[in-house]
Amino acid sequence: MIEIFENIFNTYSNESITTITIISVLLMVLFLAVYEFLVYRFVSHRSFYNKSFNITIAILPFFISTIILCLQSNIIITLGTIGALAIIRFRTAIKDPVDMLYLLWSVYIGIICGCQLFEVGVLTSILVTIVLVVLDNINFGRKPFILILHSNEDIESELIDSFKNKKISNKFKSRNYTNKGYDYAIELRTKDIEGLKSELSNNKNVSKYSIIEYDADDIV
């Protein structure tokens, strides 16, 4: 047991943090953090861009990388840091699963750069960006839309027959009946959006309509 502890202490005592090491780590963190910042801003297409979250994932790697450097230098700092991090709790809810990916990416950059594995960090970040772009541009099946229309008469059965003939998957989300007419909110999945627009425009009972494209919880 004594020999084990001596080996652990010797391992930590051999590590030294020089100014050149700190600067090189921080410069690489800066490069990868700015890279992730730009990827989140321009590659991750979302309707409501969260600038605060983007700033957070860009700054977080600086703290993590320097923590990793400190953990390599002294076992007392290591034990103290582990104890301090064990009592930290984050209560902010992450609504979008993709945001969890960027948060993990930010932590990854800090750890990798703190361990001075710069090549691994750069290659992984580039590969992750390529995968994100490819998966984001792949459309599986027909696009989902929300159709909101106002009609002068009750045309629900007419719409259902029209959707069935055009093989358009549909689901009526809401119906609102007033003295001024009828309002419908319908979820649709179709590839021929132009044909749908043409038919609705030629329908005399439809006074106005809106077609909204959406992806999961994001409205485009």
The number of CA neighbours under 13 Å toward the Cβ of 42 is 7
Question: Tell me, what's the pLDDT at 82?
Answer: 61
Angle among Cα 156, 159, 162 to the nearest 5 degrees reads 155
Q: Where are the alpha helices (DSSP H) in the chain?
A: 2-13, 19-38, 51-73, 75-86, 97-114, 118-136, 156-165, 193-202
Is residue 77 very low, low, confident or very high in pLDDT (cuts 50, 70, 90)? Answer: low
pLDDT of 15 > 60? The answer is no
For 58, the token pair is 């860009």
Contact 126, 174 (CB under 8 A): no
The reported pLDDT for the residue numbered 111 is 84
Question: What DSSP designation does 96 have?
Answer: S
User: What pLDDT is stored for residue 177 in this prediction?
Assistant: 85
Question: Quick check: 6 pLDDT over 70?
Answer: no
Q: Which residues contact 190 (CB under 8 A, 6 or more apart)?
A: 142, 143, 145, 166, 168, 169, 196
Q: Tell me the domains of the chain and their CATH numbers.
A: 2-136 (no CATH), 143-219 (3.30.70.60)
Q: Is 46 exposed, middle or buried (0-12, 13-18, 19+ CB in 10 A)?
A: middle
Q: For 98-139, how does the pLDDT look when each residue is reduced to its tens digit (9 = 90+)?
A: 788 888 898 888 888 888 888 888 999 999 999 888 877 776
- Tell me what pLDDT residue 81 has: 60
Residue whose entry in the numeric block shows the structure tokens 């502890």: 5
Which pLDDT value is given to residue 14?
46
Q: Of all residues in the chain, what percent carry a pLDDT higher than 90?
A: 8
Pairing of strands 169-178, 206-215: unpaired
pTM higher than 0.75: no
Report the phi/psi class of residue 135: left, alpha or beta, with left for phi > 0 and alpha for psi in -120 to 50. Answer: alpha
Instruction: Check pLDDT > 70 for residue 213.
Output: yes
Q: pLDDT-based confidence at 20, cuts 50/70/90?
A: confident
Tell me: pLDDT of 92 over 70.
no
